[in-house]
Chains A and B, each alone.
Chain A
Amino acid sequence: MSMFDTKGHTAVHDRRKPNTLKKLERLNTALRHQEPDRVPISDFFWGGFTKRWQQELGLPPDANPYYHYDLDWIVTVPNMDPWIRPFQTLKESADEVVVKTGFGSIMHKHFEFPMPEMRGWETDTFQKLESATFDDPADRRRFFEGGDNQIAGVGDGFQRNTPPWIETVKSLRPDFPVYGSIIEVSECLTRLIGQENAMLWMGEEPERMGAVINRIGEFYFETAKAEMAAAKGLLDGFVIWGDVAYKKCTFMSPRYWREYFKPWVAKITEHAHANGLPVIYHGCGNVKAIFQDYIDMKVDAYNPLEVKAGMDVLELRRQYGHGIGFCGNSDMQVWETGDHEAIRREVLRKLNAAKGGGYIFQSDHSVSSAVSGSTYDYIVKLVRDFGNYPIQLGEFEERL
């Protein structure tokens, strides 16, 4: 089981349930910075958390937090591999597997460890990167056929033959607002050439690397456009997966990011908006140096707002007002303690950011296997009890 193992429980179904339309209204009202009936809540769940949650709460093996808690939105991932091809298995045992993927990366997945290891890359020289040509961004296999793909297949879990993306969308749509998604250049480079080479070549050949970034940016822009077209109106929003920062700041200089990375995020966002789709941007780390840029690009909400990188949703609200929505920022490290008093303080404090709308309650990245089932149960209850509008948080009230 993995984070993106979110195939729906229903067969292809034309009609959405009234409750789903209510959830969609809730989500969109929040993203318009108006107050809905209650604060929307969802999250991204490690496969390890879901298994633990099932066992601890005595739930069946096909139980899923999205359905169990009737969460407010869900994201789907199409095939974003540059080369659409099956994984090539290089080594396999009961404990682990090593595969080469459609990014040309050699991925080692030990089934006991939450994250995979990238061991090598087919595209291992700058010359290879400059001359690499990818499969068609609009290739219908990305959206309409099942198969292996790295993002869905090798992460916290390991899955082969991921179902056709469009079928996943259709199966979830009756019960949830469904977002499509795309990676931006940074996420591609990590998988295509490795983070170290990406950074080194940016430093060594900034303009030539900039040309490569533009070419890859164009590729994923076209893929995003094709995805929205393939959905034929079935999507409710769009996530852009990026990662350009870590605990300290951005990996590259803000100047370089603005010149080469930002324009592609802006284009995808603009196109999503032209298709009536709000955009949630996912980017880990301390992005304070470029946070205004996301507002300028009219990104609808920023996720995940990692506490361990110094991001705080109340500080951001004070600084930026309702210029952008927030999705996340509840401290996973507090959740992992299981300390109900500390968790209550944490959750209620963060709910202050929901005043006036503009907030979706989630963890500050993803729900790890160190969180107990009963803790997440408690957290959902807190958000449902205290997240009704008008929000009243008692001793945890803070002025913004």
Chain B
Amino acid sequence: MQDLKALHEAVLNGDAKTAKAVTEQALAAGIEPMKLVQEYMVPAMAEVGRRFECNEYFVPELLLAARAMKAALELIRPLLTASGVQPVARVALGTVKGDLHDIGKNLVAAMLEGGGYEVIDLGVNVTPEQFVAAVKEKGANIIAMSALLTTTMPAMKTTVDALQQAGVRQQVKVLIGGAPVTQKYADEIGADGFSESAAGAVAVAKKAVGN
């Protein structure tokens, strides 16, 4: 069996084929799925995030690493679900109502999955009602919203208000991000966290859920 460090390297270097192959071998050899996630894959994505923050990695490298992680996770996830293992948290993620941009959101999704979070990607143009439904029906405990335009940013506040009105605000953490979004705006609307970048989203999510 290949040295498990090869899984770490495969994710770090964006080699989806090797990541999948090493994972298959490891699982066949009886290695615990959570060991693969916690000791090799999540640290690899954390290093990807660090390199991204330092401008050693850019969007292409981040997307490749996320794809390698996803390829390995696809083999592991069914096993984790079957054995009742819960993700770090369940994140319902989307671009807000009226906004149709998705690349930033997709990068955040990739980093959160890499950080051990379960991501429910609601897509673009997501209404406040859809975010509320993600909490009530899918058990999301983090709502992550993205907006690219100043004209769509107000939908973030509308969503926070909708969560309040639906009586579920206290059971979720609300994280926001996007080009025009600032910490000041996050504070104004009562969001629990704000991230300047996709890589930073994992740290913000971790802080928000108190892990």
| Chain A interface (Cβ < 8 Å from any Cβ of B) | 108, 110, 112-117, 195-196, 199-200, 202-204, 206, 246-253, 256, 289, 306, 308-309, 332-333, 336, 368-370
Contact = CB atoms under 8 A, between A and B. Distances in A.
Contacts of A199: 59-60, 63
Contacts of A108: 100
Nearest to B103: A195
Interface in B177-208: 179-180, 196-197
Contacts of A249: 55, 58
A328 B17 CA distance: 46
- 5 pairs of A and B residues whose beta carbons are closest in the complex: A203-B60, A117-B100, A203-B64, A202-B60, A199-B59
Contacts of A289: 55
A213 to B, nearest CB: 13
A112 B103 CA distance: 22
B100 A113 contact: yes
Contacts of B100: 108, 110, 113, 115-117
A200 B150 contact: no
Interface in B58-110: 58-61, 63-64, 67, 98-101, 103-104, 106
Contacts of B151: 114, 368-370
Contact of B58 (A250, A309, A369, A370): A250
Nearest to B181: A308
Nearest to A250: B58
Nearest to A332: B150
B125 interface: yes
Contacts of B175: none
Nearest to B97: A113
Contacts of B98: 112-114
Contact of A115 (B14, B101, B150): B101
A309 B59 CA distance: 16
B97 to A, nearest CB: 9
B149 interface: yes
Contacts of B197: 247-248
A200 B67 contact: yes
Contact of B149 (A117, A246, A368): A368
Nearest to A309: B179
A251 B99 CA distance: 21
B63 A200 contact: yes
Contact of B63 (A196, A246, A332, A368): A196
Contacts of A115: 99-101, 148-149
Nearest to A190: B103
B14 A203 contact: yes
Contact of B64 (A116, A200, A247, A308): A200
B124 interface: yes
A126 to B, nearest CB: 13
B11 to A, nearest CB: 14
A206 B14 CA distance: 13
9 contacts: A115-B100, A196-B63, A200-B60, A204-B64, A248-B196, A248-B197, A251-B60, A368-B149, A370-B150
Given A199-B60, A370-B150, A247 B179 contact: yes
Interface in B21-74: 55, 58-61, 63-64, 67
Nearest to A200: B63
Contacts of A204: 14, 60, 64
